[in-house]
């Protein structure tokens, strides 16, 4: 899909993000798969998720921001696991995510193959991404930051103020 946002634009955006992150020790890093030029950016983040019964679950998120060739937009993929490494399913995460309660789970969250790693990840639905992404293309110097700052908050990803400065 031609969104006017090329892979090269994407790589420039994530490089910028990682540079800021390195100064702030924020944890974003660039990764790639063997024998593959496509780069993506990842970050791990541990937190507690609140269950409806008042319980707290310690989990680690691993976020991946990769470029989807077919949609021509960045994709936010993530996996979540407990302390022992067992992963949360979509349904389990849904039941522990208060910020998404009002929407229809499967309009928002889905499982999809990572654009580069080709393994299943949880993801925000890519159709929604194009919708969210389009306005940032014209108004932001770093549309990946603008987009992440909006969609990240739905899935426990908070972006520091410092990133917004480079938009």
Residue 127 is a catalytic residue: yes
User: CB under 8 Å to 32, separation ≥6 — which residues?
Assistant: 38, 39, 40, 116
Phi, psi at 136, each rounded to 5°: -70, -25
Number of residues this chain uses to bind other proteins (CB under 8 A): 32
Helix (H, G, I), strand (E, B) or coil at 106: helix
Write the binding mask 85 to 104 for other proteins: x where contact by CB under 8 A, - elsewhere. xxx-x--------------x
Considering only 5-13, 32-40, 45-53, 131-139, which stretch makes contact with other proteins by CB under 8 A? 45-53
Q: Compute the distance between CA of residue 160 and CA of residue 162 in angstroms, rounded to an integer.
A: 5
- Facing residues of 47 across strands? 59
Active site residues: 127
Which residues of the chain form contacts with other proteins (CB under 8 A)?
Answer: 22-27, 29, 44-48, 58, 60, 62, 79, 81, 83-87, 89, 104-107, 110-111, 120, 161-162
């Amino acid at each position: 899909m031609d969104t006017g946002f090329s892979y090269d634009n994407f790589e420039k955006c994530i490089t910028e993000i990682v540079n800021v992150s390195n100064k702030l020790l924020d944890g974003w890093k660039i990764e790639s798969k063997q024998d593959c030029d496509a780069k993506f950016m990842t970050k791990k983040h541990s937190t507690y998720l609140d269950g409806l019964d008042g319980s707290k679950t310690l989990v680690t998120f691993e976020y991946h921001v990769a470029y989807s060739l077919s949609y021509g937009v960045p994709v936010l993929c993530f996996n979540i696991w407990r302390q022992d490494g067992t992963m949360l399913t979509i349904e389990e995460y849904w039941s522990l995510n208060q910020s998404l309660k009002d929407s229809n789970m499967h309009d928002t969250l889905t499982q999809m193959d990572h654009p580069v790693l080709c393994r299943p990840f949880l993801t925000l639905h890519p159709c929604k991404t194009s919708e969210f992404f389009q306005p940032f293309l014209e108004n932001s110097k770093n549309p990946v930051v603008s987009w992440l700052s909006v969609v990240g908050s739905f899935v426990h990803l908070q972006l520091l103020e410092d990133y917004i400065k480079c938009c």
